[in-house]
A and B are shown apart, each in its own frame.
Chain A
């Protein structure tokens, strides 16, 4: 049974870079599927950020494209999110997820709250 767990700093200053890691267990990220990130601002709906295949193919929502990257660390069975130049509007719960057939986010981590504040 695949399990995902987010980790990273819970507080980031405005204009800095948000970096989160997703640890995957029960499934090798090099076996297949896309791996990505979704966020949810307090009291708001779900917002898809992007995903990536371990070979490098990636998709991003255009609203994040200029400041987001997702990288995989296959030796650690992890993948990471980097979001640059953050503002208070980036305060959210960030979820990592495995995207199955039809790109459906099927397996989710429990989420991590990241607050952007000085």
Chain B
């Protein structure tokens, strides 16, 4: 059981827009910065979004992040077949013990 809750799967057609949610609590998302990762099959996770909505260099602006209260969202616009992957949210959790926590992951299928 993950501390952060994500939908197990989402799907959309190429060119469409998809949203992946990440729900937490006041001790994690509600008070700390959120990151999002993309994991393509057989590869290490890659940072997509940090500090709730910032993109590392090289990440297309098709990927965007936002946060409101104790929930965060990853939006992917103009879906491409190469976006088919697992996506994870993560953040620092301050209570009851300080640690980093991940969501359970969301499998994105591009139909």
Contact = CB atoms under 8 A, between A and B. Distances in A.
Nearest to B33: A102
A62 B103 CA distance: 17
Nearest to B96: A62
A104 B97 contact: no
Nearest to B50: A104
B45 interface: yes
Contact of B99 (A48, A95, A101): A48
Contacts of A102: 32-33, 35, 50-51, 92
B110 interface: no
B105 A104 contact: no
Contacts of B45: 46, 95, 108
Nearest to B101: A48
A108 B38 CA distance: 12
Interface string A14-55: 000000000000000000000000000000011110110000
Interface of B: 2, 32-33, 35, 37, 43-47, 50-51, 56, 88, 90, 92, 97-105
9 residue pairs, one from A and one from B, having the closest CB atoms: A102-B33, A48-B100, A46-B102, A45-B105, A104-B35, A108-B44, A103-B92, A61-B99, A45-B104
Given A46-B90, A46-B105, 4 more contacts: A61-B99, A100-B50, A102-B35, A110-B44
